[in-house]
Amino acid sequence: MIRTRSALRPARTAAGVLLAAAVLSACGGAPAHQGAAAVVGGEQIRIATVQAKVGALREATAEAAPEAAAQEQAGLVRRTVAGLVLDRVISRALADRGLTVTDGEIAQVRDADAQLLGGEAALRRELLLRQGVAAADVPDFYRQQLGIRAIAAAAGQDARTEQGDAVVRKALADAGTALKVEVNPRYGRWDPQRITLVEADTDWLPAKRATA
C-alpha cells in the first residue's frame, strides 16, 4: 500500500494525481475569497489551514531528519494546497458513485502497513520522509489512496493498471469540473482535466472598472 510520490506520478498510476510544483504565500482578495487559498464547491480552504499544515510538516521533518529539513523540497506550500483540493475532489467522486471510505478500512490498511514496516513509529517516519505526510495527516493520506482504489474497483478495474488509471482520472476530472474549483493564483490554477495545479492565468481579484 505504501508508495513513494514518484511512483504515484504521471501516466501509469491513478495516484499520479497526487502532484507537485512550486510556490508562495497568499494574498487578500474580494470578500468571498478573503483569506482563502482555494474555494472548492463553495467551501473555502483557508490560508491559515495551509500554513498550519506546512508548519507542522516542517517541524516534524526538522525533528526526524534535520538534513532533510535543510533541503526542503520545492513547492511545499503549493503541494499542500493541491492535496487539500484533491481531498475534496476525491470525496465528490466517491459521493457521486455512492461510495465511502470508512475509518475501519483506513485503520485496517494502516495497521497492515505498520506491521510490514515494524510498527506505527516506523510507518509514520516512512510517510513523513518519503511521502511528505505529517502524523496528523496520515488518515487523510490513506483516505485518498483507498478512495482511488474504490473508484477504480466500482468500475471493475484495478487502479494500478492503465485501464484503472483512466477510470479514476475521468472520475476525478468530472468531480473537479462539477466542484468549480477556484485557487488563489499565488498557488496556481486547478486544471480539472489534468487533475493538478497549473500556472494561473486569471486574477483572484475582480477587474477594476475604468473611472471617468
Residue 40 sits at φ, ψ, to 5 deg, of: -125, 115
pLDDT over 70, % of the chain: 76
pLDDT band at 66 (very low <50, low <70, confident <90, very high): confident
Q: Is 9 exposed, middle or buried (0-12, 13-18, 19+ CB in 10 A)?
A: middle
Answer yes or no: is pLDDT of 31 > 60.
no
For 59, other C-beta atoms within 10 Å of its C-beta total 12
What pLDDT score does 27 carry?
A: 38
**Beta carbons of 21 and 79 less than 8 angstroms apart:** yes
DSSP codes joined into one string, 10-74: TTT-GGGGS-----------SGGGTTEEEEETTEEEEHHHHHHHHHHHHHHHHHH-HHHHTTPPT
Higher pLDDT, 26 or 151: 151
User: Hey, what long-range contacts does 31-36 have (CB within 8 A, 24 or more apart)?
Assistant: 33/182, 33/184, 33/204, 36/184
Mean pLDDT across 6-22: 35
**Is the per-residue pLDDT at 209 higher than 80?**
no
Arithmetic mean of pLDDT, 37-55: 95
Q: Phi and psi dihedrals of 196, rounded to 5?
A: -160, 170
Q: Strand, helix or coil at 189?
A: strand
pTM for this prediction: 0.80
**Does 128 score more than 90 pLDDT?**
yes
